[in-house]
Amino acid sequence: MRDPTLDLKVIHLVRDPRAVASSRIKSRHGLIRESLQVVRSRDPHIHRMPFLDAGHKLGGKKEAGGGSDYHALGAMEVICSSMAKTLQTALHPPDWLQGNYMAVRYEDLVVEPIKTLRQVYGFVNLAVSPEMEKFALFFFFGPGYSSKPFVVSARNATQALSAWRTALSYQQIKQVEEYCHQPMALLGYERVGSPEEVKDLSRTLLRKPRL
């Protein structure tokens, strides 16, 4: 970033941590080793947040997902801690980062793909081609949707945004919010107050980000 011979810009694609947690749990078997590595990479000197449900780890292995779900959620603490540091740097950027960093929410890309795509391309002084705009519309609003992990396909925008609200339990959601409240606040992801609020898909849970 400090190399005067380069004109480097950073585009940071972010997503609601609750959706990230849901994807990690959905891909539990493919990511179990990675989740364990992430959990083990935490700084041992930093106090670790306890699970809201103290019995989850002990009883979880008898349930669907079991220990892999526990590690998938545990990885979110490390992921969100790192994300919070990155976003704090972007919020108060040093000279070398000013004007060279852009955070893009996945949700904005889904809801307003053309507008968001044009903003991203404009950030790097490029114009969006009609073919790219057509691809973006098909990708987010096309009829095909894959339920398999790591398979990319066209998906319905509403399904993509709200899937975590039906896939995660309320306890799992609150656990992720406990781990990730700092980056969520900066990125404009509202926390939920009740199980009923989670299931009310008419409420977007998105507000204007601080970045």
pLDDT tens digit sequence for 98-122: 999 999 999 999 889 999 999 999 9
pLDDT of residue 62: 42
What's the mean pLDDT in 86-90? Answer: 96
What's the mean pLDDT in 20-28? Answer: 82
pLDDT of residue 55: 47
Residue 110 and residue 136: Cα distance in Å, rounded? 9
pLDDT range class, residue 69, cuts 50, 70, 90: confident
pLDDT(80) > 60 = yes
For the chain, how many helices (H) and strands (E)? Answer: 10, 2
Tokens 């398979």 found at: 151
Residue-wise pLDDT tens digits, 152-188: 566 666 677 889 999 999 999 999 999 999 999 999 9
